[in-house]
Chains A and B, each alone.
Chain A
């Protein structure tokens, strides 16, 4: 069955970077898009960006431009989201989610990764 398994919770200092992984299984990793979203404590969902593994195409939300990078490692079938220059406002649960190409919705989600930014 389709699963997206994310890396574990992290605590990072302000100014540092965090790299969260998302490992899909149960389908051909290269053929589907991966989106990243986040949810601050007690807040709503926020879309961060998309990576299309077949072609390495990325699109990021404007507010994260220059601070986020979404990449893939084909050898391990893993997708990554790296966010730099962290502040306390980046404390959130980060989710990856799958999109069947050109369907414009997210059918499977990872379990979420809590990133805490604290000195």
Chain B
């Protein structure tokens, strides 16, 4: 199972919006609405930010939103803040009843 494809890096200024893409195949992202996103700060464990493509867990800022079209899922961060600077990973359930992560995206706040 190959990793889902994400851009290596995305940057934006405070207050701007950025979008991170996550491209899979018809065996994972394209078939299931079980796409989740995780934020990871250096040296820390990942944190769940979005699940089921576009649902936010309790306590996660409304500035984070998710969507999906065909084989590509996306995470949008609106009103970018310094604390959003981190690595972000998408994840999807697959037809083999396994899971696959994206390659990861480093978000930089300029």
Compute how far the CA of A112 lies from the CA of B38 in the bound complex, rounded to whole angstroms: 15
- Given contacts A62-B1, A107-B48, A109-B46, could you give 12 more A-B pairs where the C-beta distance is less than 8 Å? A44-B3, A44-B102, A45-B89, A45-B91, A59-B97, A59-B98, A95-B46, A104-B36, A105-B48, A105-B51, A107-B57, A110-B45
Within 8 A of A (CB), among B49-67: 51-52, 57
- A: which residues have CB within 8 A of B? 35, 37, 44-47, 50, 59, 61-62, 95, 97, 103-107, 109-112
Q: Considering only CB atoms and an 8 Å cut-off, how many residues of chain B contact the other chain? A: 26
B66 to chain A minimum Cβ distance, whole angstroms, is 11
B51 nearest in chain A by CB position: A105
Chain B contacts of A112 at CB under 8 A? 45
Compute how far the CA of A110 lies from the CA of B45 in the bound complex, rounded to whole angstroms: 7
Smallest CB-CB A-B distances: 7 pairs:
A104-B34, A105-B36, A105-B51, A44-B104, A109-B45, A47-B99, A45-B101
Against A, the Cβ 8 Å flags (1 = close, 0 = not) of B87-102 are 0010101001111111
In the complex the two chains form, is A44's CB within 8 Å of B98's CB?
no
B55 nearest in chain A by CB position: A105
Against A, the Cβ 8 Å flags (1 = close, 0 = not) of B18-43 are 00000000000000101010101000
In the complex the two chains form, is B45's CB within 8 Å of A61's CB?
no
A59 nearest in chain B by CB position: B97
Name 9 A/B residue pairs within 8 A (Cβ), A-sorted.
A44-B89, A44-B101, A59-B97, A105-B34, A105-B52, A106-B46, A107-B51, A107-B57, A109-B47
